[in-house]
Amino acid sequence: MYGFQFKDVTYGQEAAGWVDGVYYPRTPRINDGSSFLEEEQDGWRLHSRVWQEIEETGYGIYYYEETTLLSTELEGSNYLVKAVLGNPTKSPYTCHVRLNGVVKKPEILVKPGEEQEVEFIACMTDGSFDLSITMGAMPEIHGQVIEGDVYLKDIEIVPEAAKERRKKPHVFLISDSTVQSFEKRFYPQAGWGQVFYQFFRGADRYKVYRAERCDYSLAKTYELPELAIENRSIGGRSARSFFDEGKLDQALEVICPGDFMFVQFAHNDNTAIRPNRYIAPDEFPRFLQRYIDACARRGVQCVFVTPVTMRIMDENGRFKIAFNNYRKKMMELAGEQDIPLLDLAERSTAYLNEIGEEESKNIYLWLEEGEYPDGAYGAGVCDKAHLQEYGAKVYANIVAGLIAEYKEDNRLDVLKALVAPKPVEEIPRPKKVRDASGKVRAEVPDGVKGFVVQEISLENGRGSFLLNWNPLPGAASYRVYGKKKEELTFEVVRTVTKEEKEALATLPFAAEAGFLWQYYVTAVFENGSEGHASPMAEVDLR
């Protein structure tokens, strides 16, 4: 078998818990050794003891795994790992695979007397390869200790073929909800990464589609004639959790030499009340180092972007730079490691001080009741952190301007040749009108109208119903989104072509009985872009 070193991982002491507003989980004890491993005639038997602990607020969830790590160092970037698991016992077992703390395979069933082949991509950052194969499927590890043996019969680690430089470079945006692309029902909420493509040459010929090799649908690729922007940003993530959840790995599976990785974190790193996200400012550089190392191994240019500011004023009535302690750590690390840095924090704060408190409401998600009556914010919202679409465009334009101004060296020259920042007065604002009652209401020209539910029936645990909406000129197809009311995220339940809609105006749908379901529909155009969401409709199948 592969020439591994062995490391025993144990957790001897209880978690320290909350101390001065910060949660401290159990600390692993890692020693050279193979106490949980026994060599057998046709492989290894790996013992493990696995359990979950949730701290008292419910936000910090930790998995503790006592076992023997299979450890080595690898010099390259991506490797295909192939493992063969056996089961000489008379009972099935489930297990999962972690690499460097990231779950690569969450649920593996190995039946008695059978073999199970497992494959995954190992994405190197600092070169460490620490593999564990431990008992239990991840969804099962709660409220109990799972202990037992896994039988590893063979393992192979093969370097992936080196990726070639693309004809058109890709810019990967790695960040949180201030950059994320949002579902249309959240309009006018937007992240600056959602509209960043608009400030490059050829923006009028863009195409948009779901990002490749990515398990969350909000990740989008905006392809231009000479460039592609991969917005992998997602809300609620920090430099820690973006890595821990495997989202960085997913980007590293497809990123190529000559690409760019823009890294902007701090908003969630700062939230000590969410322990799985939190990073103390002094620890921030250590987590950012993973992104630097990952890019260096792949011939990718890492670029730091300091966090977009918040709508918060100081005692003198001036807007202040948000998360300035994290910003300073990022700037120090950029200087030490020679990483290009775009200071969006400073520039966005300066812009707010230029326009003033009242005008800043048009930048952030600060909406009156009824201003956008058909979406998620029909009741209004006052949000100092998140952006509405106009503000996202203003800040995306600032980032484009910072690229154009970059003069430290030639590492951003490829982007400088393509970027097209605009005077801020040329960025279009949403059109708003006053209705008969005097309330301000925004116009949404490409939203589907007339969305209704008809003819609901229940039979054999299934509900059937009809959905109807008015065709939208120029639409190539329609996406129907649905979810149970208690769920958080809508998913596409059906794509309807223009031809299907023309042939059958009212379309049949079905869903599981016993729930209140919610639906909305969007128009999709030839370039893959989506119109705004229709009003939401509910289907009661209880």
For residue range 411-425, what is the model confidence (pLDDT) as tens digits? 999 999 999 999 999
Residue 378 has pLDDT above 70, yes or no: yes
Q: Identify the domain boundary among 159, 185, 205.
A: 159
**DSSP assignment string, 460-512:** TTEEEEEEE----TT-SEEEEEEEETT-S--EEEEEEEHHHHHH-SEEEEEEE
Residue 316 has pLDDT above 70, yes or no: yes
Say yes or no: 460 and 346 in one domain: no
- Report the CATH number at residue 258: 3.40.50.1110
Cα–Cα distances (Å) from 418 to 47, 168, 227, 421, 527, in that order, read: 55, 11, 8, 10, 20
Domain range for 503 is: 452-540
Cα(474)–Cα(26) distance, integer angstroms: 57
Cα(270)–Cα(281) distance, integer angstroms: 8
Question: What's the pLDDT tens digit per position in 352-366?
Answer: 999 999 999 999 999
Residue-level pLDDT at 254: 98
Mean pLDDT along residues 440-450: 87
Largest CA distance in the chain: 83
Cα–Cα distances (Å) from 416 to 24, 53, 145, 207, 400, in that order, read: 44, 49, 55, 21, 9
Q: How confident is the model at residue 2 (pLDDT cuts 50, 70, 90)?
A: low
Mean pLDDT along residues 330-354: 98
Say yes or no: 84 and 197 in one domain: no
Query: By mean pLDDT, which of 234-238, 283-287, 446-450, 497-501 is the weakest?
Result: 446-450
User: Token pair of 438, please?
Assistant: 């005097």
Cα(208)–Cα(357) distance, integer angstroms: 35
pTM above 0.75, yes or no: yes
Say yes or no: 396 and 420 in one domain: yes
- Confirm whether 165 is domain-assigned: no
Cα(303)–Cα(295) distance, integer angstroms: 10
Say yes or no: 427 and 458 in one domain: no
Q: Identify the domain boundary among 104, 139, 159.
A: 159
Say yes or no: 209 and 123 in one domain: no
- Report the CATH number at residue 484: 2.60.40.10
Q: How confident is the model at residue 278 (pLDDT cuts 50, 70, 90)?
A: very high
Question: What's the pLDDT tens digit per position in 235-267?
Answer: 999 999 999 999 999 999 999 999 999 999 999
Say yes or no: 189 and 250 in one domain: yes
- Return mean pLDDT, the chain: 96
Number of domains the chain is built from = 3
Residue 407 has pLDDT above 70, yes or no: yes
Provide the Cα torsion 413, 419, 420, 423; round to 10°: -80
Q: Identify the domain boundary among 415, 442, 469.
A: 442
- Confirm whether 409 is domain-assigned: yes
Residue-level pLDDT at 478: 97
- Confirm whether 164 is domain-assigned: no
Residue-level pLDDT at 3: 83
Q: How confident is the model at residue 203 (pLDDT cuts 50, 70, 90)?
A: very high
Say yes or no: 416 and 477 in one domain: no
User: Token pair of 198, please?
Assistant: 């608009």
Residue 1 has pLDDT above 80, yes or no: no
Say yes or no: 415 and 468 in one domain: no
Say yes or no: 177 and 40 in one domain: no
Query: By mean pLDDT, which of 38-42, 118-122, 435-439, 494-498 is the weakest?
Result: 435-439
447 burial via Cβ count (<10 Å: 0-12, 13-18, 19+) = buried
Of 336 and 12, which is predicted with more confidence?
336
Residue-level pLDDT at 39: 93
Tokens 């093969």 identify what position? 158
- Report the CATH number at residue 15: 2.60.120.260
Return the DSSP state at 52. E
Say yes or no: 269 and 347 in one domain: yes
Say yes or no: 193 and 331 in one domain: yes
Cα(174)–Cα(251) distance, integer angstroms: 9
Going by C-beta distance under 8 Å and a sequence separation of 6 or more, which residues neighbour residue 338?
none
Mean pLDDT along residues 330-340: 98
Query: By mean pLDDT, which of 283-297, 366-380, 382-396 is the weakest?
Result: 366-380
